[in-house]
């Protein structure tokens, strides 16, 4: 296991605790639907290019009646970036050493009326130390009420720390979660932030509140829509939308590239892909 300093350890413990809270809530929703589905956890170890231990993580996946497929991963890894990839990472251009810990979540839902969702928060150390992450809602069949409630909860989390956060991070999400070759956004947005490195305690507190905001609002949206009737046309719309989601994650997603470039567990990295998709 790689050695962690106090800040790295505190961040790791938070992300793992958030994982436990989210997974417990999602399993509770499955129980409400009459399902006994539960997360299946698989631990994995990473070895860096020199053959030394490079940390690892735990992949958690559940397939149930409400959650057709949801993955909640945590990882804590370290080592050195290889080749020119280091130049693309904040603070690693001259020294390729790095540390990263975080949580990544993607939920694909059985009912097309329930929005799919992505959430990721992380702490990285190079020659600099910073937090990044965010959450965005991805409904195949959007509802204005759901979109407004999701954004309002994220804005409340942002406003508690800095009123400038929400407009800045919302605009960043709109820019980032965009599929250029389709000229469409992959969902209805949320927030995205990176390189947050002004005050460690304040930035950590904000990142924690982003996680708490997600845990508060998303289960409410799931419960609001999970029993809503749907037809074959709704399902087809969902499958085609999932194709767009897969395109973004395989072509543009930074987290996917980071995981593959740093020797992460491939199944954990690609857990974001939907169980079924369609292209017309």
Residues 6+ apart with CB under 8 A from 32: 223
Catalytic positions are 118
pLDDT at 280: 78
pLDDT at 1: 64
Phi, psi of 93 (to 5 degrees): -65, -40
- At 256-270, the pLDDT tens digits run 888 888 777 888 888
For residue 126, pLDDT over 90 is answered with yes
CB 63 within 8 A of CB 108: no
- At 149-194, the pLDDT tens digits run 999 999 999 999 999 999 999 999 999 999 999 999 999 999 999 9
6-272: CATH topology is oxygen-dependent coproporphyrinogen oxidase (3.40.1500)
pLDDT band at 46 (very low <50, low <70, confident <90, very high): confident
- At 5-25, the pLDDT tens digits run 999 999 999 999 999 999 999
């Amino acid at each position: 296991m790689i050695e962690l300093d106090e800040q790295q350890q505190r961040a790791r413990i938070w992300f793992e605790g958030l994982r436990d809270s989210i997974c417990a809530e999602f399993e509770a929703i499955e129980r409400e639907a009459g399902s006994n589905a539960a997360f299946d956890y698989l631990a994995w170890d990473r070895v860096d290019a020199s053959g030394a231990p490079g940390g690892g993580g735990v992949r958690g996946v559940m397939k149930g009646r409400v959650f057709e497929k949801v993955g909640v991963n945590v990882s804590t890894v370290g080592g050195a970036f290889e080749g020119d990839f280091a130049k693309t990472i904040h603070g690693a251009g001259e020294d390729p050493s790095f540390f990263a810990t975080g949580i990544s979540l993607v939920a694909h839902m059985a009912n097309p009326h329930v929005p799919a969702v992505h959430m990721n928060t992380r702490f990285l150390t190079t020659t600099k130390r910073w937090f990044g992450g965010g959450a965005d809602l991805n409904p195949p069949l959007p509802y204005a009420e759901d979109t407004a409630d999701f954004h309002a909860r994220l804005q409340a989390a942002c406003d508690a720390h800095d009123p400038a956060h929400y407009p800045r991070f919302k605009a960043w999400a709109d820019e980032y979660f965009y599929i250029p070759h389709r000229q469409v956004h992959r969902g209805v947005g949320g927030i995205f932030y990176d390189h947050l490195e002004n005050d460690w305690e304040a930035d950590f507190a904000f990142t924690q509140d982003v996680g708490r905001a997600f845990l508060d609002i998303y289960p409410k949206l799931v419960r609001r829509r999970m029993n809503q009737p749907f037809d074959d046309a709704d399902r087809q719309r969902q499958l085609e939308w999932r194709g767009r989601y897969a395109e973004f994650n395989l072509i543009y997603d930074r987290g996917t590239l980071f995981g593959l470039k740093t020797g992460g567990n491939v199944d954990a990295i690609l857990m974001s892909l939907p169980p079924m998709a369609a292209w017309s």
